[in-house]
A and B are shown apart, each in its own frame.
Chain A
Amino acid sequence: MTTADVVVTGTDARVRTVAVTGEVDLSNVAGVEDRILDATGNDLLGLVLDLTGVDYLDSTGLKLLFTLAVRLEISQITLELVVAPGSSVQRVLEMTGVGESVPMRTAD
């Protein structure tokens, strides 16, 4: 079974940091999306999505990121992705052009 965890880690009430850990594929992407949306009210100014703890992210996870980015842009909420340097998630995001449309930085 594919499992992933979604937790709110930041302390800033206006720019929320949400960390996803584990694996994301078709079997659990809906739950992951739901929990990210739960953590993202329309009162936020920005969302930082920390993907450093994600070991596996397939095209369904990419679709989630693209959809989220489009929707947040309409709502004028900024989105930033954080990935582990040299990780497979970073490569996938760069290869598929997510990095072109969403600000992305590597974790320190």
Chain B
Amino acid sequence: MRRLPTMRIVSITEGEMPPFGGSTRAVRTPRVLRVIPGAAERARWLRTFDPVTDFQNSPSDVDELLNEALDGIRAAVSADTAAVLLLDPAAHFLVAAAARGVESEVRQGARVPVGKGFAGRVASGRAPVIIDEVTAESVVNPLLISAGLRTLLGVPLLAGDVLVGVLHVGRLTDRSFGPADTALLEEIASRLALALRTRTTRSEREAAVALQRSLWPEALPAVPGLEFAARYVPAGNGGTSGDWYDVLTAPSGATWVVMGDVAGRGLAAAVAMGRLRSALRAYAIEVSDPVELLDRLDRQLQHFDPGVMATVLCAVLDPLGRVMRLSTAGHPPPVVAVGDGLPPVMMDLPVDRPLGVGRLRPRRATRLALPPGATVCFYTDGLVERRHRPISDGIAALEKSMFGGHAESVCARVMADLVGDEPVDDDVAVLVMRRLPVDESRSLVTRMPAVPASLQPLRQTVRTWLGDLGADRVPAEDLLLAIGEAVTNAVEHAYGPRPGEVVLSLVAEGDLAICTVSDTGRWRSPRGTLRGRGLTLMEALTGTLDVARGDAGTTVRMTRSLREGGR
């Protein structure tokens, strides 16, 4: 039979009925407790607590702050142990953050569900709880029992109305905590909670900025035949929002261009944005259709991040960069400059519902042909929206500012015209994509690591180059294979296990393509099952093959007409 814990009669019992066989008391902090034990006496207690009374001047590091505070608290209420558990961001759990006398709580990462056990009830009731006899029934955390604690007092850490966590103290003796202890601990807790809140807010803001920075692409990928430029300006008030852009190439050779904005600000928005970005990347290598990508992303968001809303514009370019298909989930359509002499306009793109807000009707995709020189400007609403002017004016200003030209120049102009010297009150992200005009793509030098993974993107580069020059089908296929063979040779034979690089240079002189593949390794005679066939093949495909082998490396030069029947 379970031994019934002894009841303790206290003078102040206003509060809830003890839920566990009378072993605990939930004290509802009656007014009378506030004045007991008298202002003078309380002041004296607080003086004994002086070293850390003014938490606002104490260490800015939360761990240091807590450890210092707990030593003072232990002394102030003559407790053997003291511990702080902080509420996790989702407010489901209390997690041990600092402890004195029960250090294992922190080391073992103790966590208590809100509402369960001793600390959990302090949190859910937002009121002090005293346990006169620690038993397996009265506490859920076995560490408190194994530490030999006999009595416990816990108070909520409340910064105003906001619950930050729980502070509890314990004694190894039967000497119970009284109303005076409760009053003092509550006083300390309210100061500590405010200090914690300040620090948490500050560190969350720093974390949000750091997180968001880490999620922005360090460099946009080099995609043959396309150029990109981007700008991102965080809001002037120091906050961050969930803006993001991404450019990624899929294994199929398709290029995804993404611009998005997670509703909300601060760390929560930055974290949601990070998850959305990772999910999008995962889906982008699986699917080829922007509608399907947005649908999957929507399902993912609604399932794992309910309550989060985001606007996302997804565009996918075919491997040759000629055609773009776009679908937008609540995000403003891009402004495009396509074709000579036509003024830049906001694309006529049906805007479907944002992500995270239920299913209404099927999403739609729109096709946009990209002739050479076509320039597309993606942006977040921070660029066109200002407090003092309607969004339509902002879009008109963007259309006026935008032009078909170098991506960097377009970016610079748009930022100068629409942002200028004004501090922005929302984040501004701009991403400009341009399909290179043919005359700028007649010669091309590309360097790649001498590894098999370089071969597929290399073919993409060569296909795009040949396509832009309008090469006939058979010569294009011949050149593609011949160049592939030359690069494969360098990957297989030039370097041994050491890493190395292959450089491909493509030049068009009239209808003649001049292709050079060079490495800086040591030449060795080809080996393997297709020993030597590569060279034979290259010669047969191009007609002219010149292999220069030297100490500085090997250079293979091939020429071939871009026209059928020509050599």
Instruction: Give the interface of A toward B (CB within 8 A).
Output: 36-37, 40-44, 68, 71-72, 74-77
Contacts and interface: CB of A to CB of B under 8 A. Distances in A.
B498 A74 contact: no
Contacts of A37: 496-498
A72 B498 CA distance: 9
Given A40-B496, A42-B522, 5 more contacts: A41-B496, A44-B496, A72-B497, A75-B492, A75-B497
Contacts of A71: 496-497
Q: Which 4 A-B pairs have the closest CB atoms?
A: A42-B496, A71-B497, A76-B528, A76-B527
A39 B524 CA distance: 17
Contact size class for B?
Answer: 10 to 19
B495 interface: yes
Nearest to A36: B497
Contacts of A75: 492-493, 495-497
A71 to B, nearest CB: 4
B404 interface: no
A68 B497 CA distance: 7
B248 to A, nearest CB: 25
Nearest to A44: B496
A71 B497 CA distance: 5
Given A41-B522, A42-B524, A43-B522, A77 B492 contact: no
Interface string B479-500: 0000000000001111111100
B451 interface: yes
Interface string B377-418: 000000000000000000000000000000000000000000
A107 to B, nearest CB: 23
Nearest to B495: A42
10 contacts: A37-B496, A40-B497, A40-B498, A42-B494, A42-B496, A43-B496, A43-B524, A71-B496, A75-B493, A75-B495
Nearest to A47: B497
A43 B497 CA distance: 11
Contacts of B498: 37, 40
B420 interface: no
Contacts of B524: 42-43
A17 to B, nearest CB: 16
B452 interface: yes
Contacts of B522: 41-43
A85 B497 CA distance: 28
B497 A77 contact: yes
Nearest to B500: A42
Interface string B437-464: 0000000000000011000000000000
Interface string B64-97: 0000000000000000000000000000000000
Interface in B492-547: 492-498, 521-522, 524, 527-528
